[in-house]
Structures are given as C-alpha cells and as structure tokens.
Amino acid sequence: MSLRDVRGRWDSGLHSFWAFVGLLFAPGIVVHELAHAGACRLLGVKLTQTRLVGLPVIPAGLTKPALGWVRHERPRSAWKAFLIAIAPLVVNTVAALSVFTAVTRSLLPVDVITYPNTVSGLVRLHWDILVVETGLQTQLLGLLGLWIGVSLAVTAMPSTRDALNTAIVSLETEGLERRLVYGPSVVLFVLAASAFGFGLLYAVALTAVGLGGREALVAVRYDFIGYALASVVITLTVERRGFVGIVRSRLTNPSRSFLELTPVVLSRILSLQQEMEADEPLTDEAIAFLVAHLDHGQLEVRYQSASALATVAWEDHSRLGAWMDRLIERAVAEPVDSVRVKLLYSISAGAIPDTDRELLRDVSIDALTAESTDLRLVAAQVVGRLAKADPGLVAAHVETVLEALTDDELSETARGNLAVAVSRIAGEVPSAVRPYRDDLASHRTDSNEKVATFVERALKRTADGAGESRSDSHEG
C-alpha cells in the first residue's frame, strides 16, 4: 500500500460522526459561511470558492474534515481580514437571538415564570409548553425554531483558521494597523482554539439569553461550570490550544509559555524570513526552530517553516545537513501537498543524503502520482537524483516513472530528468526496465529531445542479449 493510500483511508465511523454533526448543525453552518461570504463581498475581497454545507470532506490544503468553507483572496488590509473572521460571530449571534425571540414571543402561549438550571432543560421546558398548549402546526414551527436557534448559537464562534488568517495578514502589514489588529487576532485565536469550552459556553449563554433573558442566564450557571471543567480536561491533553494549553505549556516548559502560541510562532517565522530577504544568514538555533515546527498542528505554521527552510536550502544546502533525516521523516508524514513540495525541495536542492534513502524514494515515488503539479515537478527532480546516486533503489518503480513521462503538465526539464533516471536504471538493472520496452518505444519520437535520446539509450541497454550491468559516465 502506497503512502497516498494510507493517507487516503477514511474511517467510516468518523465519517458518519461528522455527517451527523453536519446534519445537526446545518442551519448554523450555512449562516456561518454566508457571513464570511457576505463580509467578503461588502469589503471587496474576491471569493474563489464557497461551500455552505455538505457531507464531510477534507478540502485541499487542510488535514481535517470540513462541512462547509469559504475561500477568498488574502485581503491586503488587516482590518478587512479581521472583519471577515468575526463576521459569523456577529451574524450568528443576531440570527440566534432573533429566532429565539420569535419562538418565545410569537409561539409560546404562556410566559415562563421559573427556569431549570441547565440549558438543555430550558430548551425542553419551551418544547413541553409547545406540546401541551399548542397545535401541531405551532409545535412544528417551535421545534424548527429551537433547532435553528441552537445550531446558530453553537456555530457562532470563528474557527482557528479564521483567526490565523487575520494574524498572518496583520503580520504582513506595518505600523499602526499591525499593532491594532495583531493583538485582537491573537485573542480571537485563543478563544477559537478553546472552542470546546468557550464556544459551547457562548452557545449556552446565547441560548439562555435568547429563551429567557438575564434570569435564565443566571439559572443555568451550573452548565458553565460543567463545560469549563470539560474544557480543562480536554485541553490539558492538547499542546498549544487555548487558555489551558498556554497554562500547561508554562508549567511543563517555562521557557515556552506564551511564545509557543501559534500566532506568536508565526510572527517569529515571518521575521526569520524577512531576515533572509535582507541577506542575513540564519543561525543554527533559528534553523532548529524552523525544523521543530514542521510537525506543528496548524498548517500555516508548517507551511511557513518549510518555505523558510527551502530558502535556506537554495542559498546553502549544506546548512541543513544536520537535520536532513528529520526533513525526510516530515516529508513522509506530511499530508498536505503544498508543504511536501517545500520539504522535498529542501532535501533535493543539494546532494542526496546517504541515510534514509529508502524513505525518500517512497515519498518521492508517491509524490509522482499526486494531484499537485508542483509536487510532481519536485518529485521528478528527487527521483532523478536518487537514480543517479543509486539506480537500483528506484528500479522497482519503473512503471510509475514511465507513467510520469506521459504527464503533459510536467516541465520539459522534469520529463528529461525522468528519462535519464530510466536510462540509468536500464544500465544497472536491465531486467527491471525490459518488461516496459513497448512503453519506452512510444517515446522514441518524443518532442523533448532529451527524453527521446535517453529513451533510445534505455532501449539499447534492455535489448535481447544486453548485459545485466552497465554504466555510462556521460549521462547528465
């Protein structure tokens, strides 16, 4: 089973769970995404993709299933990014309160005098009144209103991705705008990362206020304590997540504390990138910092770290020698193509390392069949260099390499590298290439002169009677 197959396996139980969540909170998810989209249109930010709600899928560039999303161009203004991020918080809150008000004032035939001490009991009380005191039509409307109101409240909180987008844009700006927006974006991230606690606490408060006002909010105070305790228990098991994550980080490693909060890490990474742009070489400590964050839970941190390391590799590949095994391990484990591109480039920009070549072969052969053209391009470079260093290492994957030769989206240089790789394998292990002579023959007249030349050389080496071990010191 290939690495891609392993990554592509989808647990049916988890899929069913997320599908249930999507159905349960569909109204809130739709309004949440519409709020993002509406804010983009009002602020003149171009939308590139909108999915209001549906069965759970893993969108391109992410690692977790999503039910809905809005993609847009990165705003140039940090204020615009911040407003787009908090739009669902405002819109879902107003919508939830409006729906709850409609249920209590328009559908309930009697006033509620006393309230239960849980939000679930509060919702059930309103439903019981509807069942006892009203007809079927009003009951259905009431049930619909309670469902929509709760789903709007639960999905009001922006996601950590929304908060990170704001943090990144604010870090790319300068002066007063950066100082005013970056702090709120960090706070928004902390709240969003604590969503199990704060998000549900906010939903509890919103539901209580919507159904009964301040008196109901006081009555359900014990729910707040329960959700807060649950949040503590769960967040204690997760690094760099929310309020409790910061406290845990401080207790377990005092030198990290707040500095390991994701927006702050991003700030450090972007500052290192700016140093490189100013032709200031990074210290070994800075490179170690970048390598350490290649396994960060947030995609943006991994991508920016890998991008910075790719720049280091371009300028002086030898600087990464001490971390090469780690880079290969991360390239194997990384599920997002855009990050794998940077990692594979960092590895292959210089001499192929002596260690972990089999892992590097596996991840590069797998990348040759990826959907990302950029990933296939850099994979062709890695495969070519591996075949130069050790043709036998790639011999078992000739079929995949030949399939890549037919990829019109690959550059002429990349296709040439693959043809050279096949020729080298044919020189060292002719038996591995011989079964594919018919496929090779179709490239004899290839428009790419380098491909045609080295395919012809591979055909000669695999002809009947050709030796089992040959070499050609003139191959490039």
Each residue of 305-316: pLDDT tens digit?
Answer: 999 999 998 888
Give the other-Cβ count within 10 Å of 66's Cβ: 18
Sign of the Cα pseudo-torsion (435, 441, 442, 447, in order)? positive
Which range scores top for mean pLDDT: 230-244, 251-265, 370-384, 462-476?
A: 370-384
In this structure, are residues 376 and 370 in contact, taking their beta carbons and an 8 Å threshold?
Answer: yes
The region of weakest confidence among 11-15, 22-26, 152-156 is: 11-15
Each residue of 394-426: pLDDT tens digit?
Answer: 888 888 888 888 888 888 888 888 888 888 988
48: helix, coil or strand? strand
- What is the spatial distance between Cα 29 and Cα 23, in angstroms, rounded to a whole number? 10
- Please name which of 216, 239, 248, 21 lies closest in space to residue 125, comparing C-alpha atoms: 216
- Please name which of 346, 260, 274, 358 lies closest in space to residue 303, comparing C-alpha atoms: 346
Q: Is the pLDDT of residue 149 over 50?
A: yes
Tell me the sheet residues that pair with 427. none
- Please name which of 421, 432, 434 lies closest in space to residue 460, comparing C-alpha atoms: 434
Residue 75 has φ and ψ, to the nearest 5°, of: -65, 150
What is the rounded average pLDDT for all residues in the chain? 78
- The full set of domain ranges for the chain reads 13-250, 352-476
- What is the spatial distance between Cα 105 and Cα 116, in angstroms, rounded to a whole number? 19
- What is the spatial distance between Cα 35 and Cα 29, in angstroms, rounded to a whole number? 10
**Bridge pairing between strands 69-72 and 47-51:** antiparallel
- What is the spatial distance between Cα 149 and Cα 27, in angstroms, rounded to a whole number? 9
In this structure, are residues 173 and 78 in contact, taking their beta carbons and an 8 Å threshold?
Answer: yes
Pick the CATH number of 352-476 from 1.25.10.10, 1.25.40.10, 3.40.30.10, 3.90.180.10: 1.25.10.10
- What is the spatial distance between Cα 140 and Cα 271, in angstroms, rounded to a whole number? 56
CA distances from 343 to 14, 325, 367 (A): 30, 11, 12
Q: Is the pLDDT of residue 200 over 80?
A: no
Token representation of residue 302: 């991994």
**Residue 83 confidence (pLDDT):** 93
- What is the spatial distance between Cα 368 and Cα 240, in angstroms, rounded to a whole number? 34
| C-alpha 457 chain-centroid distance | 43
- What is the spatial distance between Cα 332 and Cα 363, in angstroms, rounded to a whole number? 6
| Block residue for tokens 């109101």 | 149
| Block residue for tokens 């005191």 | 133
| Block residue for tokens 């991994």 | 302
The mean pLDDT of 145-172, rounded to a whole number, is 84
- What is the spatial distance between Cα 443 and Cα 450, in angstroms, rounded to a whole number? 11
Each residue of 367-401: pLDDT tens digit?
Answer: 888 888 888 888 888 888 888 888 888 888 888 88
In this structure, are residues 56 and 66 in contact, taking their beta carbons and an 8 Å threshold?
Answer: yes
- Please name which of 84, 77, 108, 75 lies closest in space to residue 34, comparing C-alpha atoms: 84
Q: Is the pLDDT of residue 59 over 70?
A: no
**pTM for the structure as a whole:** 0.66
- What is the spatial distance between Cα 25 and Cα 16, in angstroms, rounded to a whole number? 14
Tell me the sheet residues that pair with 377. none
Q: Is the pLDDT of residue 75 over 90?
A: no
| Block residue for tokens 């790639």 | 394
Provide long-range contacts, Cβ within 8 A and 24+ apart, for 413-417: 414/376, 414/377, 414/380, 414/381, 415/380, 415/448, 415/450, 415/451, 416/448, 416/450, 416/451, 416/454, 417/380, 417/381, 417/383, 417/384
- What is the spatial distance between Cα 89 and Cα 87, in angstroms, rounded to a whole number? 5
**Residue 91 confidence (pLDDT):** 95
CA distances from 455 to 366, 416, 449 (A): 23, 10, 10
371: helix, coil or strand? coil
Residue 231 or residue 293, greater confidence: 293
According to DSSP, residue 72 is labeled E
Give the other-Cβ count within 10 Å of 335's Cβ: 17
- Please name which of 333, 423, 415 lies closest in space to residue 373, comparing C-alpha atoms: 415
In this structure, are residues 153 and 203 in contact, taking their beta carbons and an 8 Å threshold?
Answer: yes
- What is the spatial distance between Cα 211 and Cα 107, in angstroms, rounded to a whole number? 12
Each residue of 245-300: pLDDT tens digit?
Answer: 555 555 555 554 454 567 778 888 888 888 888 888 888 888 998 998 888 777 88
- Please name which of 79, 78, 82, 70 lies closest in space to residue 46, comparing C-alpha atoms: 70
pLDDT-derived band of residue 1, with 50, 70 and 90 as boundaries?
very low
Token representation of residue 397: 């994957």
